Copies of this chain bind each other. A is one copy, B any other.
């Protein structure tokens, strides 16, 4: 097949995990192919949008028929670089940190949290889900373990120093759950998830007037 080389827009990349998830579950439900219309209803995206998104990385559909779910899933995995297991470290073994370690959804994309850190001496040495909590001072071992992804679930005032330490330990991707902006070198990618911020918009949307 002739491979197109269009740039994939950022917004499309943002939707790819959503698509991949949908495809995986459709497969589990026994489907082998799906139309953009049906799939759109399934994941909550306009069908035109879906066709355009898919078209950025080739012609995977068959006119009159639909898309081969398996082929599509493999392709999206390839684009997102999810073909191999990705190890991640989590810093901050509090409530949110514990919840994320136990979060079942991470498996689907091939993530494995293999290291957990905290600065609380009462927590260090204990285990969460069979993973020993290490002293945050020992973050340096991430380099040896070749872990490139860090998840920050520490209190707001410790977020920046934690990020600095992660960068120093060779991490190039940070998922930040602390409600603050953190500064990193240009070669490091930060995605901040401000949970409370999402909730904060709710009254605006649901209040009349």
Residues of A within 8 A of B (CB): 13-14, 16-18, 20-21, 25, 42-44, 79-82, 86, 88, 94-96, 98-100, 102-106, 108-109, 111, 148-149, 151, 155, 172-173, 175, 179-181, 188-189, 191, 193-207
A173 x B206 contact (CB < 8 A):
yes
CB contact between A109 and one of B99, B104, B196 (< 8 Å): that residue: B196
Which residues of B lie under 8 Å from residue A18 when comparing CB positions?
Answer: 194, 197
Interchain nearest-CB distance for A94 vs B (Å): 8
Residue of B nearest to A105 (CB): B196
Which residues of B lie under 8 Å from residue A98 when comparing CB positions?
Answer: 95, 99
Which residues of B lie under 8 Å from residue A13 when comparing CB positions?
Answer: 201, 204
B103 x A196 contact (CB < 8 A):
yes
Which residues of B lie under 8 Å from residue A109 when comparing CB positions?
Answer: 196, 199-200
The answer to whether A17 and B207 touch (CB under 8 A), given A99-B99, A173-B202, is no
B172 x A206 contact (CB < 8 A):
yes
B44 x A199 contact (CB < 8 A):
no
Interchain nearest-CB distance for A202 vs B (Å): 4
Complex: A21 Cα to B86 Cα, angstroms: 33
Interchain nearest-CB distance for A182 vs B (Å): 8
Complex: A86 Cα to B173 Cα, angstroms: 35
Beyond A105-B196, A111-B196, list 13 extra A-B contacts (CB 8 Å): A16-B200, A17-B200, A18-B197, A21-B194, A80-B204, A81-B207, A82-B203, A105-B194, A109-B196, A151-B199, A189-B206, A191-B198, A191-B202
